[in-house]
Amino acid sequence: MLPPRLVIEKSKLWNERQRAALAQEQLALAPAVIQKLRELEQIPWNFSYRFVCDDGRCSGHELQVIDWEIGQSYRKWSRTDPTRWREMIRQRYEDELQRKTDLEMRVLLDENVPIELADELPGHEVVHVNDLGWKGISNGELLRRADEAHFDALVNWRQPSARPAEPRPLQRRSHSASAAKARQ
């Protein structure tokens, strides 16, 4: 896999309809709160990661970063160091992602997933639900337990009778994202 690269591109300005939708959201607030509000500041840049995976057929992927933290980094650094903010953001977020992608993951395989998939994940801790006595548990409960046990990924087949010929790639998710999904 080629290392992910952070791409910074100019964003489109909000149109009148989008601004009206933001104003409509504020109508439900108390009048005293509305008086204290300032107009939401639009970050004039879009941030995304572009990378190519190990699949020879891959023409590349782009994942948009929708995160309060990177927007706040832009606000702070564009004001304190206007000539270097791009470099500072790229250094912070490319380096951080590279550190995260080099980590070992704890992967939980659902009961319909062949244990042989573990052979495709060298360097990662792979556990099958059967080994934990979790066979037959609903996906929602399994996701909750996986989160409590600090697994990074849960792999399952949507249709047990129709397994795909090749496993789908794992999607990384943070523990907080899995906890939010489990609450749904």
Higher pLDDT: 161 or 120? It is 120
pLDDT at 119 over 70: yes
Helix (H) or strand (E) holding 36: helix 31-36
pLDDT at site 102: 57
- 0.85 exceeded by pTM: no
Whole-angstrom distance, CA of residue 59 vs CA of residue 95: 23
Q: What is the pLDDT of residue 183?
A: 44
Query: How do 45-51 and 61-64 pair as beta strands?
Result: antiparallel
The tens digit of pLDDT for each residue in 4-52 reads 889 999 999 999 999 898 888 888 888 888 777 777 889 999 999 888 8
Confidence of residue 101 (pLDDT cuts 50, 70, 90): low
